[in-house]
Amino acid sequence: MSLISEPIASFSPLYEQIKAMILASLQASEWLPGDAIPSEMELAARYAVSQGTVRKAIDELAAQNLLIRRQGKGTFVATHQEEDFQYRFLRLEPDSGEKLHLKNQFLACENIPSDPYIARLLKIKPGDSIIRIDRIQSSAGRPIAFEEIWLPEARFKGLNLEMLNAWPGPMYAFYESEYATHMVRAEEKIKAVLAGSDLAKYLQISEGAALLSVERVAFTYGNKPVEIRHARYDTNGQHYDNKLN
């Protein structure tokens, strides 16, 4: 593979061009999640700019959680395998403030044609094949969340129930190691809804109880949407935690 070392956009500050080139290398899997990228000096040489300029580019990518700096060791591509990133997108926490430990139970994993709604969110054509997964998450033996997940089949070929059941960690670590797909950011829309009979059964609560509905679109490099999730949380004993800055 040829190294990416020529500007991509026509004009902007140098460090923006460097950012774009580093991003392109990430997207092209030149460096994989967990890997160290070349040192600042090496990148400065490669792009023919000063170390300070590379530094500013890396600083901004690190601020977006795409890279992780480790003094004395190097700069690494962010990965959901790491301790700190394991539950990076999980905002649910017990009212007590402790850390939530969730256990998975997968109910279904089927291959279906996409309806127009999911297709629009995933930016694929209606009718294109997608994978739909259902799961229940429990904390201390109590079911807390019911989730439906939709994935474009083209990217997640062969994904099935056995693989999911065999995987010990978080979903996003699974996508990364099995499908070379690293999630970079996500958007959520939150509502309050009433439990119907199905949800009541899954979550062992009474019909008509209030549930938190969270619809998430998750994106990989290049703002590409690659996962839709619709979660329903029982917020009795836990809540969705958010910081506003």
Partner DNA sequence: CAGTGGTCTAGACCACACT
Partner DNA sequence: GTGTGGTCTAGACCACTGC
d(CA 244, CA 48) in angstroms, rounded, equals: 39
For residue 190, state whether it binds a copy of itself (rule: CB under 8 A). yes
For residue 169, state whether it binds a copy of itself (rule: CB under 8 A). no
Q: Nearest distance from residue 43's CB to DNA, in Å? A: 8
Measured at the CA of 218, the angle between CA 144 and CA 161, to 5 degrees, comes to: 60
Q: Which does 165 bind (CB under 5 to 8 A by kind): a copy of itself, DNA, none?
A: none
| Binding-site member from 4, 25, 26, 40 for DNA (CB under 7 A) | 40
From the CB of residue 154, how many other CB atoms can be counted at a distance below 10 Å?
12
Binding residues among 5-34 for DNA as defined by CB under 7 A: 13-16
Please compute, for residue 189, the number of CA atoms within 13 A of its CA located in the half-sphere on the CB side: 5
Nearer to a copy of itself, 88 or 224 (CB): 88
Tell me, by CB under 7 A, how many residues bind DNA.
23
**Beta strand pairing call for 92-94 and 210-220:** unpaired
For residue 51, state whether it binds DNA (rule: CB under 7 A). yes
For residue 245, state whether it binds a copy of itself (rule: CB under 8 A). yes
d(CA 148, CA 136) in angstroms, rounded, equals: 9
CA distances from 186 to 13, 23, 64, 193 (A): 28, 18, 12, 22
Residues that bind a copy of itself (CB under 8 A): 63-65, 88-89, 91, 95, 185-194, 208-213, 216, 233, 235, 239-245
Residues that bind DNA (CB under 7 A): 13-16, 37, 39-42, 49-53, 55-56, 69-75
